[in-house]
Amino acid sequence: MVAVVVVLINTAANKGEPMRERSNQATTAILRNLPESEMIESSSIGGPGFVNVLLSNNWIAENIQKMLVDGIETWAPRLHVRKAVVDFSSPNIAKEIHVGHLRSTVIGDCIARMLEFSNVEVLRRNHVGDWGTQFGMLIENLFDKFPSVEDFNETAIGDLKALYKESKQRFDEDPAFKARAQQAVVRLQGGEPKYRQVWMQICDISRKEFDKVYNCLGVELEEKGESFYNPYIPRVIEALTNQGLVEENEGARVIWIEGFSTPLIVVKKDGGYNYASTDLAALWYRLNEEQADWIIYVTDVGQQEHFDKVFSAAKRASWLSADNRAYPKASHVGFGLVLGEDGKRFRTRSSEVVRLVDLLDEAKSRMLKISKEKQADRKKYGGILWTDEELEKISEPVGYAAIKYADLKSNRLTNYTFSFKQMLNTEGNTAVSLLYAHARICAIIEKSEQNIQELKKGKVVQPASFEKEREYFEEVDAFELLEESPSPKRFGTWTMGNQSENVTITHLCSRLKKWQIFKKLNYNCGSSITLSKILETPSTTLKPIKREDFDASILRTPEKSSPKITTGLQSIQSRPDKNITNKDVPQRDYISLSNELLVSVKEESCEDIEVGVKDLSLASTSASLDLDHVNPFAMLLAVCDQLAPAKLLDVLSKYCDPDSIAKIGEGTYGEAFKAGNTVCKIVPIDGDIKVNGEVQKRSEELLEEVVLSLTLNHLRNEGDARNACTTFIDTLDLKVCQGPYDAVLVKAWEDWDDKHGSENDHPKQFPENQCYVVFVLQHGGKDLEGFVLLNYDEARSLLVQVTAALAVAEAAYEFEHRDLHWSCYLLFLL
Ligand SMILES: NC(=[NH2+])NCCC[C@H](N)C(=O)O
């Protein structure tokens, strides 16, 4: 395990020489003054402004071990804080709890957890807005609707949101109502029982809604709403006045704060208190009654100025120290807006505020849908099926976690775009994939049947070498392959392979590595080594590879493989066709298996190598085949050894009785038919109509594929031991055809359709002059998607063979398969 810490000293370091000079001095000074520490393995300058510090593997291993034995708590930082108030979530009664409050809830809970982890006593405060002027209009409106207080209850009050809307409209439009509402605030705040009672009922309804959200998110909060601090306000204002901080301003009483053009209003013109008066009283209470050392407020960045002013007033009153680092202290933790995918404020389609319960529900139901889709896959491939209850059960926490995680992962201070699609992605940096990884780790631990608690207490685990890590992951990959394949899961298939045989996959890796090193060493003196020899690849067996020590005596002089690549083309060049250029395919002069190798070569030759490698690439036809000057269709014919296109049935019937031809598969590319022992892949080309919803491939594209097949066929040349491998499917023949599907083919197509339901277009649609390329291939067996891997050895053997084949093809022809999926593997047992 290695960690590299990069310290950015000055981003402006590149801007000018003096700056660079200074940054160099700084990095050197830091390096020189880094104290000796067992934590640090080594340190170096990593460019202007950067110091790289490599953490010691031993130190990390020892500490992780200590943590495993003594518990993660021992890693808790020691803070100079005994008690903290985290003021978060804090929605407003009778108003909707919205996505802004969701952010506050998620971020605030996270801060509270971190402090709790650090052994700080945390007061998780829900500073709900339960004391605003909104209550006047709500209560007055309710009195109009239900003249008798006894009639009030939750069902009668019903939807608070609607009540709020209605009351607000009356308040704005009807001056008499407005006056009554204002009176009602005074009566409520004066403590009149009738008003108090309705107010409490309204608060209860809102509270229930808030609690639903907190339950879903697993967040605990203790409500101390604005109303709680109301009795403290007069005393606090009086104290501040006595300190000479409160002044008259335009009829209001205010505190002036340096640096702000408007003061902090603490008593309104009408003598009422406001948000700021409450926050001053709350701050006083938290400092003096609750004796908190650190008070943290989590709200959107829009409230930054409010808190700056409140904190500055508290500093002027010496409640807080002027030094921001000193305790007790108060901090505002702001966050950006939540935006919809349209870049605007997150709203419902009818531009209403989104209800948080609905939002959480939607995350759950979308997750359920995704889980069900995965279930359908498992059904298809024979995986373990879950019951509906189980699916339901996992969708809830995963869906909710997705929302939380997406929020926490985003930059706190910038606006954040809410996207279900992104947050519920099963891959990438999302809660879903993290939880999946966690579940897998748990499954591995469970399957290992080891007592983890006991293992933890064992002796210090020496830092694993990379070799071992790789070995481990290769094994895990083999397991994964087993699990993903439709293997029988219930039988005892999780055996670790045949331990008595001296078989390890590591040997493949170490041999590959040695081979690379040898190549590197011998690059300039011109010797190479035969990869297939080193690998001792079992070409088509599903038996495990045997241990074979590397034998340096098999070093050979590298003769490049290019003459072989071009065999197919050379046969074209000898044909009389005028359209084909006589341009020779460049000789393959450079073999590069890794960047490491490229980098190690002397500088002046780097460019040549790059050019060489480009020329070699099978994809860069421009270098090997000058397509600007040839007719690709003619070229295709020539490569296929034809003067004119053949008929489909003539090609296929070479291998069997036409009536026995059967369709065996399909893709958007075309269709596969079984003809005797071969599989004929028919790919329509060059036509103008769309086939299976796609534009048809052009001759030039097929030409590439055809040359590729021929090229890979050369690997089968078993007479030559260099880079030999028979793992790639044998291309027995290649033909360009023309004309519609023959009746037997149409019948075969329809038979398959009856059984499997084709997703492809009916071949009837092909016009008279439709062209195709037919790949006649060796029948390779069953594809991995449907193949049952029975044990670890089989999975490993498959991985070894595939890896080896890819390595051989890469060594020989720079071939890279960039889209390997499980229908690309065909398997059969020997
Ligand atoms: N002490 C505080 N001011 N806390 C934050 C309260 C947030 C406020 N109720 C709002 O919805 O924006």
Q: Do residues 661 and 652 touch, judged by C-beta distance below 8 A?
A: yes
Q: Best mutation site among 85, 86, 89, 90 for ligand 1, i.e. most ligand atoms within 8 A of its Cβ?
A: 90
DSSP, collapsed to helix, strand or coil, labels residue 803 as helix
Return the ligand 1 atom nearest residue 129 CA.
9
Cα–Cα separations (whole angstroms), residue 395 to 128, 364, 406, 676: 30, 5, 16, 49
Q: Rounded CA gap, 333 and 110, in Å?
A: 12
Cα–Cα separations (whole angstroms), residue 487 to 72, 378, 607, 795: 38, 11, 49, 10
Q: Best mutation site among 299, 308, 333, 356 for ligand 1, i.e. most ligand atoms within 8 A of its Cβ?
A: 299
Distance 143 CA to ligand 1 centre (A): 28
Distance 227 CA to ligand 1 centre (A): 13
pLDDT, average across residues 438-451: 86
Q: Rounded CA gap, 181 and 735, in Å?
A: 88
So what's the pLDDT on residue 503?
36
- Residues comprising the chain, all counted: 830
Return the ligand 1 atom nearest residue 226 CA.
1
Q: How confident is the model at residue 106 (pLDDT cuts 50, 70, 90)?
A: very high
User: 347 Cβ partners below 8 Å, 6+ apart?
Assistant: 340, 353, 354
Q: Is pLDDT above 50 for 141?
A: yes
The pair of structure tokens assigned to 583 is 């341009």
Cα–Cα separations (whole angstroms), residue 652 to 603, 639, 647, 737, 764: 54, 19, 9, 11, 18
Query: ipTM of the assembly?
Result: 0.99
Nearest to 648 by CA among 757, 509, 768: 768
So what's the pLDDT on residue 636?
86
- How does pLDDT run across 749-766, given as a tens digit for each residue? 999 999 988 889 999 999
Nearest to 200 by CA among 125, 282, 131: 131
Q: Rounded CA gap, 56 and 68, in Å?
A: 18
Task: Give the pTM.
Answer: 0.58
Q: How confident is the model at residue 492 (pLDDT cuts 50, 70, 90)?
A: very low
Q: Best mutation site among 85, 92, 124, 127 for ligand 1, i.e. most ligand atoms within 8 A of its Cβ?
A: 127
Cα–Cα separations (whole angstroms), residue 392 to 437, 440, 442, 747: 20, 20, 21, 45
Return the ligand 1 atom nearest residue 128 CA.
9
Q: Rounded CA gap, 819 and 806, in Å?
A: 12
* Most confident segment among 157-166, 395-404, 555-564: 395-404
Q: Is pLDDT above 90 for 645?
A: yes
Q: How confident is the model at residue 466 (pLDDT cuts 50, 70, 90)?
A: low
Q: Is pLDDT above 80 for 788?
A: no
Q: Do residues 772 and 671 touch, judged by C-beta distance below 8 A?
A: no
Burial of 603 (0-12, 13-18, 19+ CB in 10 A): exposed
Q: How confident is the model at residue 468 (pLDDT cuts 50, 70, 90)?
A: low
Q: How confident is the model at residue 485 (pLDDT cuts 50, 70, 90)?
A: low
* Percentage of the residues of the chain whose pLDDT score is greater than 70: 75
Closest residue CA from atom 3 of ligand 1: 279
Q: Rounded CA gap, 101 and 90, in Å?
A: 7
So what's the pLDDT on residue 428?
85
Per-residue burial over 98-111, b if 16 or more Cβ lie within 10 Å, else e, is: bbbbbbbbbbbbbb
Cα–Cα separations (whole angstroms), residue 197 to 150, 282, 371, 471: 11, 24, 47, 70
pLDDT, average across residues 203-208: 92
Q: Do residues 85 and 292 touch, judged by C-beta distance below 8 A?
A: yes
Closest residue CA from atom 4 of ligand 1: 127
Which residues form ligand 1's pocket by a CB distance below 6 Å?
87, 90-92, 127, 129, 279, 282, 297, 299
Distance 129 CA to ligand 1 centre (A): 7
Q: Rounded CA gap, 649 and 659, in Å?
A: 11
Give the H/E segment covering residue 448.
helix 431-448
Q: Rounded CA gap, 492 and 454, in Å?
A: 25
Q: For 163-226, list the strands marked E by DSSP.
A: 222-223
C-alpha 560: how far from chain center? 41
Q: Is pLDDT above 90 for 178?
A: yes
Closest residue CA from atom 5 of ligand 1: 90
Q: Is pLDDT above 80 for 129?
A: yes
Q: Strand 662-667: give its sheet, edge to edge.
A: 662-667, 670-675, 678-685, 771-778, 731-738
So what's the pLDDT on residue 473?
62
Q: Rounded CA gap, 116 and 122, in Å?
A: 6
Per the model's pLDDT, the better-predicted residue between 687 and 577 turns out to be: 687
C-alpha 58: how far from chain center? 31
Cα–Cα separations (whole angstroms), residue 791 to 496, 504, 780, 809: 8, 15, 21, 28
- How does pLDDT run across 703-736, given as a tens digit for each residue? 888 888 888 888 887 555 567 778 888 999 999 9
Q: Rounded CA gap, 204 and 200, in Å?
A: 6
So what's the pLDDT on residue 249?
95
- Taking each helix axis as running N to C, give the angle between helix 160-173 and helix 134-145, from 0 to 180 degrees, rounded to the nearest 10: 100
Give the H/E segment covering residue 29.
helix 17-33
So what's the pLDDT on residue 156?
64
So what's the pLDDT on residue 770?
95
So what's the pLDDT on residue 515?
44
Task: State the Cα angle at 370 between 369 and 373, rounded to 5°.
Answer: 90
Q: Do residues 531 and 499 touch, judged by C-beta distance below 8 A?
A: no
DSSP conformational letter for 547: P
* Most confident segment among 100-109, 179-188, 333-342, 813-822: 100-109
Cα–Cα separations (whole angstroms), residue 3 to 7, 33, 47, 54, 59: 13, 20, 18, 6, 11
Per-residue burial over 801-830, b if 16 or more Cβ lie within 10 Å, else e, is: bbbbbbbbbbbbbbbeeeeeeeeebbbeee
Q: Comparing 324-338, 346-360, 408-422, 535-549, which segment has the lowest mean pLDDT? A: 535-549
pLDDT, average across residues 516-527: 40
Closest residue CA from atom 2 of ligand 1: 127
Q: Is pLDDT above 60 for 448?
A: yes
pLDDT, average across residues 450-474: 66
Distance 99 CA to ligand 1 centre (A): 14
